[in-house]
Structure 1
């Protein structure tokens, strides 16, 4: 197997599969969306990392002893095209790394990450996240059947909660501000105080 050690060796307008992705050994972090390369933002800010850590702690405590598992980035999620994709690496064209995801079907997990749609995906926005990137991921997660999707805005201390309806389309269930408490839609007993997520630490 030939490894690619420099992203400049790739045609950024080309189409690639998960099999190609496994040969990449360059420093630039990328995601693969429908065969196209999306460069990820540089290392997340301290605030971004703090929010991710707080959420991970909440999910660790909430899911302890249960069948569902939470994972934080970097963690590869291979999403399947419902019409085309098989599970062969050469037939998978999408590999993303959500900030946090929750998977309840253990058959979707292997040593390389998750294959198939997680039950819940959480993305924490960074200054480097473009509107195009977020629109692309919104459509991708909806199409892939991710049941619940949260988007967090660290600067505004706001969380948007999207729910997949019976027509397999996302609906914005609510916008929550930093001092509110809310429940997950698919995990009815999961209640989160946003002040715990967005807490600021003194330097």
Structure 2
């Protein structure tokens, strides 16, 4: 055990449920989800969420969610910016891997989204992971293939990107989500 691990606090889902404000918990380490996202982050989130909803309009199985608790283990709870879930959620939190996760980068979360969270989502076999960068107007799409994420598109230039590995195979127009 490293010296840092020996002395850092360790928390569980039970502790997490007592906290005020928005938090994430990764392997017992808390991360405050503040300050609130900046306006550019929120606008991109709304536009992308609307496009995903439209693409799933006729799908009975898959649903789009904004941040909800995804309890992965007793010491890991995350709140991705957007999720697509293709099975019913029967608890007050998600307790299985979603089909698609979107993280919209901000200066305070970019390294965590590209590092810890990407590795975490990959370990949970999330089929698609989208990293959206409002600053550089870039979307990176990763697909879970052969037990790891493979980049399948950066700034998709087709009219619609098809998420083939989900139950409803939505075709999502990712062009011009930037205002």
TM-score by length of 1: 0.76
Contact 2:103 / 2:113 at 8 angstroms: preserved in 1?
Answer: no
SS in 2 for 1:128: coil
SS in 2 for 1:56: helix
Alignment of 1:139-178 (within 5 A): 139-166=119-146, 168-176=147-155
- Residue matched to 1:89: none
Q: RMSD of aligned C-alpha atoms?
A: 2.0
Q: How many residues align?
A: 169
The CA deviation at 1:142 is 0.4
- Residue matched to 2:43: 50
- Residue matched to 2:94: 114
Structure with higher Rg: it is 1
The CA deviation at 1:111 is 4.6
- Residue matched to 1:102: 84
Q: CA 1:49–1:133 in structure 2 vs 1: closer, same or farther (change >3 Å)?
A: closer
**Whole-Å Cα distance in 1 between the matches of residues 98 and 170 of structure 2?**
18
Instruction: Give ranges in structure 1 of 5+ residues lacking alignment.
Output: 1-11, 81-91
Alignment counterpart, residue 191 of structure 1, candidates 166, 172, 176: 172
Instruction: Give ranges in structure 2 of 5+ residues lacking alignment.
Output: 1-6
**Whole-Å Cα distance in 2 between the matches of residues 144 and 56 of structure 1?**
22
Q: CA 1:132–1:189 in structure 2 vs 1: closer, same or farther (change >3 Å)?
A: closer
Contact 1:41 / 1:129 at 8 angstroms: preserved in 2?
Answer: no
The CA deviation at 1:40 is 2.1
Superposed CA offset, 1:50-88 (max 9, x none) = 111111211222223421111012x111114xxxxxxxx
The CA deviation at 1:184 is 2.5
Residue 136, structure 1, aligned to residue 112, structure 2: no
Alignment counterpart, residue 18 of structure 1, candidates 13, 20, 24: 13
**Whole-Å Cα distance in 1 between the matches of residues 78 and 112 of structure 2?**
15
